[in-house]
Amino acid sequence: MTHNVLVVDDEPKLCDLLASALSQNGITVFTAGNGLHALKVLECEDIDLVISDWRMPGMDGPQLLAEIKSRFPQLPVIVMTAYSTVKNAVQSMRNGAFDYIAKPFDIDELDITVSKALQFRDILKDNQRMRAELDEHQQIDSLVGDSPSFRRVLQAIDSVRESNATILLTGESGTGKEMVARAIHKHGNRADKPFVAVNCAAIPEGLLESEMFGHRKGAFTGAVADRIGRFQQADKGTLFLDEIGEMPLALQAKILRALQERVIEPVGDPRERKVDVRVIAATNKNLLDAVAKKEFREDLYYRLNVFPIPLPPLRERVEDIAPLARHFANTLGAAAGKRFSGFSAEALQAMANYSWPGNIRELQNCVERATIVASGSVIEEDDLPAYLFASRPADGGVLVEHNGVPADLEAALAEVEKAYILAALQQSNGVQAAAAQLIGISERSFWYRLKKLGIHVDKIVR
């Protein structure tokens, strides 16, 4: 396993000496001349161990140690100190340092101390990985359902999981695209390799290329060290590109080349790097419409759409609502120290009657709230959030006459419209722009509907 070690000392010759000694053991060494520079490196690089001098101008060793323990609590630190200050080094161990070495130090002693610290770091990383795998297992278990539309999704997963084909997952927000991507990876031929997820909409456009392909030190302001990108992190494994429809056009061409030729070019480095990744992309957009509007490259669309898997919205798999709700209640209840035997018939009917514009994510949030407020072992209708019943008339009457025909069509449509808007506001925590995007209308249209329906956002029940 390759390790990254950061050496912090204001003496360049000592930094060079340590770098030379450690690199002979296959360790990648980063150096910093002071504590502030060290913190910048730690923010940019995946460092496994810090070796820091005790006395430095500006931020000294004890101050740097305190900062590291605050920001990176599981990162081991070895303190370097002169023999005359060994007592201080012992104090630093009480403050969280892994060990200390005294100057002038013996190289063999240094190797032994560094080896122990890196073994400790590996154990911590293994524990983190195991916890992540448990979390992932719980997510994959969320692929619950036996409706015909969802069975088709499961069949598609089974068909493609052992191949290296590029996959395009499509569907509304909250339909479980990342869970499906993780399931494909977990049960495929790359299961023992990394799964790296990137939300293309969450990374600023100016940083997206560096995030994808990495960069060389000095390639731009703030690039204080070399950094590998997500493609290299996912080498031999799976790269999940979520919200691919939000990727800038300028970067789409480079993504296309990476998919076609399996090579990348880090920012500021003309040398090409070969990568072997299985790409799964996801979007809640209609990419063909985006192609027609020149917002998405046609060649990239067809490169991604090798094996499309459309995910149905929850309203088209109503029979799956009850088993999904029970699954979430069991999982979330156990995490909160509660045990539930199920839902009342009235609660299940209320959830079945609701349209779930936020899909599985909204259902999970709904059940989580219900597990918090429920006082008994059965989740009742009253434990569910009020917005599920927003489409019911205020007087408790009904809006239908015979055979489901509305007595007042305009009033019935307004109630349905109001229910969608209330649900979107609930899902977006009252953020109107996000709620408008969730139900697929413009902000201006959303504000008009709020006024027309008399909805006051500050009065939304959360």
What pLDDT, in 10s, does the model give residues 152-162?
Answer: 999 999 999 99
Q: What is the DSSP letter of 406?
A: B
Over residues 245-273, mean pLDDT: 90
Q: Is 169 helix (H, G, I), strand (E, B) or coil?
A: strand
No. of helices (H) and no. of strands (E), the chain: 18, 16
Tell me the residue length of the chain.
462
> Exposure pattern of 143-159 as b/e (b: 16+ CB <10 Å)?
bbbebeebeebeebbee
Start-end of H helices in 268-408: 287-292, 298-304, 321-335, 345-353, 359-373
Instruction: For domain 317-384, give the CATH number.
Output: 1.10.8.60
Q: Is the pLDDT of residue 99 over 70?
A: yes
Tell me the C-alpha distance between 242 and 263, whole Å.
Answer: 21
Read off the pLDDT band of 224 (50, 70, 90). low
Start-end of H helices in 202-282: 205-213, 230-233, 249-261
Q: 349-369 pLDDT, tens per residue?
A: 999 999 998 899 999 999 999
- Domain 391-462 matching CATH 3.60.21.10: the answer reads no
What is the pLDDT at residue 395?
41
Q: Is the pLDDT of residue 462 over 50?
A: no
Structural domain spans, the chain: 4-129, 142-312, 317-384, 391-462
Q: How is residue 142 written in tokens?
A: 């969320």
Q: How is residue 288 written in tokens?
A: 């063909």
> Angle at the Cα of 278 (from 276 to 281), degrees rounded to 5?
135
Q: Is 352 helix (H, G, I), strand (E, B) or coil?
A: helix
What is the pLDDT at residue 404?
46
Read off the pLDDT band of 393 (50, 70, 90). very low
Q: Is the pLDDT of residue 54 over 50?
A: yes
Residue labelled with tokens 């069975």: 151
Tell me the C-alpha distance between 440 and 424, whole Å.
Answer: 10
Average pLDDT of the chain is 84
Q: Is 250 helix (H, G, I), strand (E, B) or coil?
A: helix
> Which of 79-88, 251-260, 328-337 comes out lowest in average pLDDT?
79-88
Tell me the C-alpha distance between 261 and 122, whole Å.
Answer: 34
What is the pLDDT at residue 130?
58
Name the pTM for this structure: 0.59
308 within 8 A of 168, measured Cβ to Cβ: yes
Q: How is residue 40 written in tokens?
A: 């910048």
Q: Is the pLDDT of residue 442 over 90?
A: no
Domains 4-129 and 142-312 share a fold: yes
Reported CATH class of domain 4-129: alpha beta
Phi, psi of 345, deg, nearest 5: -60, -35
Give Cα separations from 293 to 248, 287, 297, 324 (angstroms).
Answer: 14, 10, 10, 38
Angle between helices 359-373 and 345-353 (to 10 degrees): 150
Q: Is 362 helix (H, G, I), strand (E, B) or coil?
A: helix
Residue labelled with tokens 């025909």: 405
Q: Is the pLDDT of residue 136 over 70?
A: no
34 within 8 A of 67, measured Cβ to Cβ: no
| CATH number for domain 142-312, candidates 3.50.50.60, 3.40.50.300, 3.40.1360.10, 3.90.800.10 | 3.40.50.300
Residue labelled with tokens 């499906």: 180
Read off the pLDDT band of 412 (50, 70, 90). low
Read off the pLDDT band of 85 (50, 70, 90). low
Tell me the C-alpha distance between 217 and 227, whole Å.
Answer: 8
Q: Is the pLDDT of residue 124 over 90?
A: no
Tally Cβ neighbours within 10 Å of residue 427. 24
Over residues 311-329, mean pLDDT: 93
